């Protein structure tokens, strides 16, 4: 960093004027100081922490960071949201401490980490539910099976009308709405419904963001779409959520059914992958991991619209993480509960 050393003085001269807008020196203290002094019970740590990964997990990571910084104002945290896949690439380069993920790590990503000599610890932090939504004007659809969804969404599907799926449904066009392939939710849905993360029909209304998706479904009586639970919760005045029948009768998504797994197969854990050797050398990372499994984390998770894990699960995951256990339990695991996966080590 020779060059930057030379550049700093000249840059500072130029920044004297612009820094005024930042209002005072080291302004971070002025806002965070109040919260930090009240809750700073345990020893404070300092250092740097880089988190990169899923956009789905970003709100949780950002909310946790905010509360964590309240206790440890001297830790410099960055949180990115390039997506689970991109986050894993950065993680495998050793550039980040934590990779946020809305799906379990893939075999090829594990391979990349092995090649780079990076050991990782898998840490589930919260639950997310995927919801099927229709317009409030839709009177016929109370629940839907995975098989019906598969008929609608499969890559080879030629279904154009509602009554092609079920004759009791109206002879009206079936208008499908979903996210683009940039979203973790896209992969999750296709894997669950069509057996492969990439397998989907192409002629649906592809939305890069969830707001237009919700708006599209809300204004179209013949629409059906899928979105993450966090987005539905904010929009229950605009769209109606449909119960999903995963084989054991229709179940409505809510905090309870998503957590206990009865809202199957559309409830999923969200994860953070931790660089093990960095956790051993970086006290800030260790403190953050403790925070993410600590008593203040549920507040951050709820504020982001997701569902905290029950305390029993948190304790099991905590034992797993503190034991320094590496490798993935979730990769390739279908249907098993977190307690079973992480408890039996």
Partner 1 sequence: MNGALSGANLAHIRKRRLKSQMFGALCGAAAFIAVAILLTLIGKLLVDGLNRVSWSFLTSMPSQMFPAKAGIKSSLVGSMWVMALTILFVVPLGVGAAIYLEELQTRENWFTRFVRINIANLAGVPSIVFGMLGLTLFVYVFGFGKSILTGALTMAILVLPMVILVSQEALKAVPKSFREASLAMGTTQWQTVRRVVLPNALPGILTGIILAAARAIGETAPLIVVGAVGLVTFLPDSVDDRYTVLPLQILDWAQHPRAEFKTAAAAAILVLIALLLVLNSAAIIIRARAQKKV
Interface residues toward partner 1, by CB under 8 A: 1, 3-4, 7-8, 10-11, 14-15, 18-19, 21-23, 26-28, 30-32, 50, 52, 55, 58-59, 61-63, 65-67, 69, 75-81, 95, 209-211, 230-231, 233-235, 299-300, 303-305
- Our CB check for partner 1 shows the closer of 19 and 155 to be 19
- The distance of closest approach from Cβ of residue 96 to partner 1 in the complex, given in angstroms and rounded to an integer, is 10
Q: How far apart are CA 88 and CA 99, in angstroms?
A: 6
Would you state the structure tokens that stand for residue 269, as one six-digit string? 């854990």
The SS3 of residue 108 is: helix
CA 105 vs CA 20, 91, 98, 101, 294: distances in Å: 45, 12, 13, 8, 24
In the complex, what is the shortest distance from the CB of residue 139 to partner 1, in angstroms, rounded to a whole number?
Answer: 27
Q: Which is nearer to partner 1, 80 or 104 (CB)?
A: 80
Per the listing, tokens 């948190």 go with: 314
Structure tokens, 54:
């899923």
Q: For residues 235 and 225, is the Cβ–Cβ distance under 8 A?
A: no
Least Cβ distance, residue 235 to partner 1 (angstroms): 8
51/144 with CB nearer partner 1: 51
CB of 335 to partner 1, least distance (A): 29
The nearest distance, CB 152 to partner 1, in angstroms, is 25
CB closer to partner 1 out of 93 and 111: 93
User: Does the bond joining 12 to the residue before it have cis omega, within 30 degrees of 0?
Assistant: no
Are 339 and 314 in contact, with CB atoms under 8 Å apart? no
Q: Which is nearer to partner 1, 82 or 286 (CB)?
A: 82
């Amino acid at each position: 960093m020779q060059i930057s050393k030379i550049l700093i003085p000249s840059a500072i001269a130029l920044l004297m004027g612009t820094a005024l807008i930042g209002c005072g020196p080291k302004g971070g203290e002025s806002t965070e100081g109040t919260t930090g002094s009240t809750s700073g019970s345990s020893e404070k740590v300092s250092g740097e922490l880089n988190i990169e990964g899923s956009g789905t997990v970003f709100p949780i990571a950002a909310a946790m960071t905010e509360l964590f910084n309240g206790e440890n104002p001297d830790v410099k945290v960055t949180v990115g949201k390039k997506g689970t896949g991109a986050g894993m690439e950065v993680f495998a380069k050793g550039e980040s401490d934590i990779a946020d993920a809305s799906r379990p790590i893939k075999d090829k990503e594990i391979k990349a980490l092995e090649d780079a000599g990076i050991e990782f610890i898998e840490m589930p932090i919260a639950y997310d539910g995927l919801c099927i939504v229709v317009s409030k004007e839709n009177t016929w659809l109370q629940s839907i099976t995975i098989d019906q969804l598969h008929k609608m969404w499969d890559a080879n599907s030629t279904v154009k009308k509602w009554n092609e799926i079920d004759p009791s449904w109206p002879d009206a066009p079936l208008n499908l709405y979903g996210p683009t392939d940039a979203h973790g939710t896209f992969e999750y849905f296709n894997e669950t419904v069509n057996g492969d993360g990439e397998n989907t029909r192409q002629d649906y209304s592809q939305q890069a963001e969830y707001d237009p998706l919700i708006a599209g479904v809300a204004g179209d009586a013949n629409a059906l779409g899928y979105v993450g639970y966090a987005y539905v919760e904010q929009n229950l005045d605009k769209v109606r959520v449909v119960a999903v029948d995963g084989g054991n009768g229709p179940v409505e998504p809510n905090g309870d059914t998503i957590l206990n797994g009865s809202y199957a197969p559309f409830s999923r854990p969200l994860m953070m992958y931790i660089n093990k050797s960095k956790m051993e050398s970086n006290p800030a990372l260790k403190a953050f991991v403790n925070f993410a499994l600590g008593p203040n984390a549920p507040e951050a998770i709820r504020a982001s619209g997701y569902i905290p894990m029950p305390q029993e699960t948190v304790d099991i995951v905590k034992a797993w993480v503190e034991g320094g256990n590496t490798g993935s339990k979730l990769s390739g695991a279908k249907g098993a509960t977190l307690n079973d996966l992480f408890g039996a080590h």
